[in-house]
Amino acid sequence: MIDAAKLRAIMPYAGDRADVFVLPLVAAMEAYAINTPERAAAFLAQVGHESGQLRHLREIWGPTPAQRRYEGRTDLGNTEPGDGKRYMGRGLIQITGRKNYLLCGFALDLDLLSRPELLEQPVAAAASAAWYWHHRNLNRFADAADFVGLTRAINGGTNGLADRRALWARAKMMLGVRP
């Protein structure tokens, strides 16, 4: 369904990173039932936006006011001093918070609490995004073509919606999804 040329067409700023990520993405998508053109297009659009088209596997840290609020957020499981920065967004869909690192680590058989930087490696970055997609049952949004609902489920709002839609349009075209 996807190859490096299609991935570059969907994410033109990815460049050579498309070659590095295509096999990890294919494997992750197969493992987590992101297995229709509609699901793949929505997934690739969202991870494309969240990762700056495969260029950012770690959240760009300011810290911004929003990032400062990660510290002590019990909904993210950030209960120890320093958890906010230690468990910043990583991977292609930006897994964030001690709790999510723990759950993702269990699913991927990785010790992400001790080594959160593992999510900055291509295989783990792709697998974590597909795990998150599956864990949050996001295929339901892709199947219904509810891209705004999908964006809210991932982002908590609609930040970057125009970019996400542009990526989605390219992904649908490359994967043969009818408008």
- The rounded mean pLDDT for the chain is 97
Q: What is the pTM of this model?
A: 0.96
Domain boundaries, the chain: 4-57+122-175, 65-119
Q: Which of 38, 50, 71, 120 is catalytic?
A: 50
Cα torsion 53, 55, 57, 58: sign: negative
Supply the CATH classification number for the domain 65-119: 3.30.20
Active-site annotation holds for 50: yes
Residue type, 101: Y
Question: Look-up: residue for tokens 């700023």?
Answer: 13
Mean pLDDT within 127-149: 98
pLDDT value for 178: 85
Mean pLDDT within 116-144: 98
CB 121 within 8 A of CB 145: no
